[in-house]
Structure 1
Amino acid sequence: MRRNRLALWSSALAVLLAGCGGQGTDRDDAREPGPAPAVLAALREARAATAAAGSATVDSVSVVEGTRTAAKGSLDWRGRLRGRLKVTVVKGDGPTEFRVSDDAYYVRLHTPVRGRHWASYPHDTADRLAPYASLDLLLDAADAHHAGRARIRGVIATHWAGTVHAAESAVLRAAGIRKQTVDLWADSRGRLVKRVESGTGRDGVITTTTYWSDFGTDVPTVAAPPAGDRLTPGPRK
């Protein structure tokens, strides 16, 4: 049972992170067709504006094969990503805490495993939670395009959309996702306020919807749990 619960949280966090983008592109812009220059320029400006915002509150829901994982909290991406999220898996044991410190990210276990209350994971995967990572992913999409405007939680935002294929993105290949649709909305200052990403991975269809607000919010320093109270799960197979 303890192993099953640890596996549940490992899967939940994998879903939360799988819905996020990553840096870099495999497309050769000089030889392969891609978005119109004006679209690329606008997306790059939005990435710069979002990165410069530095921090925000986060409200995210990921769904994979009917299992819903919700996360709320605040993140700071000035320097290495850090912050806290309250993560809840529907039909799970209730909410738990997700911490991102300078060296790793941690999830608090409802039931201790080998006497330890926290699971530890590499920090580099948590970097995908920064909102500009989704813009990096959309910049990989050969069909990235402007898709109109919409009101997002009271904010008028510009909608950008596209489909990223595994051949275009090392991030998707690593996650076992063949293709992923990406819809992003940016406010008048270019800061990302909403994203919806959907793709089929190892665990089935994954859809993630995330909202960002309160840009520049203060995010308290996050302390790592005591070394003797955490464990490092093995890789998922």
Structure 2
Amino acid sequence: MASKVSQFMQLGRKIVAVGRNYKAHAHELGNALPSKPMLFLKPTSSYIAEGEKIRIPEGCTSLHHEVELGIVIGKPGSRISEQDAASHIGGYILALDMTARDFQEEAKKKGHPWSLAKGFDTSCPVSGFIDKDKISDPSKVRLWLKVNDSLKQDGNTGDMIFSIPHLISYISRYFRLEEGDVILTGTPEGVGPVGSGDVIEAGLSDVVTMKFQVEQS
């Protein structure tokens, strides 16, 4: 497993994340629903694997968990059609889009980018690589997350606003997708804060689970 984790971590050139792709999550944060995919980037330096700790960034007072299905690109391409999108999927990962919510809210008020809020070191914990044949239908899988054994997020990819084929097609109009790149497809409702010493456990149906501890930087 470690070799496949490191393979996409090292080979991929970017992480393209999708915001507000679940209606209930958008509503819980008081955000309007998007009419087209809302994208942001996380640097590949934000990856961590199990055994490493999530570090609360300096000055952050509200670090939130967001569990997501990640798409690992297996075949490069630009302007990919929705009909051909599945052929560009190499596999999957379970991921956390850790968010410094206070940094994000301050940036939004000022009209500034979210780079610090979303891209700080350790902000993208991931599972091992999941072979494509392990998930027969990625549009119908359960995502769940617990903090200290208390269930916080429990959703299904069937509730996405924009489908996986649509996301791959849309993103590839603007960013050439390279082998090893990852698309984070959004998070269901139930996001919330974590603090130093908390333990986050997350799962993707019965396919994979992962666990990370949070610590202060």
Same-fold call, TM cutoff 0.5: no
Higher RCO, 1 vs 2 (CA within 8 Å, ≥6 residues apart): 2
TM-score of the aligned structures, taking structure 2 as reference length: 0.30
Larger relative strand fraction: 1
Q: Which has the larger radius of gyration?
A: 1
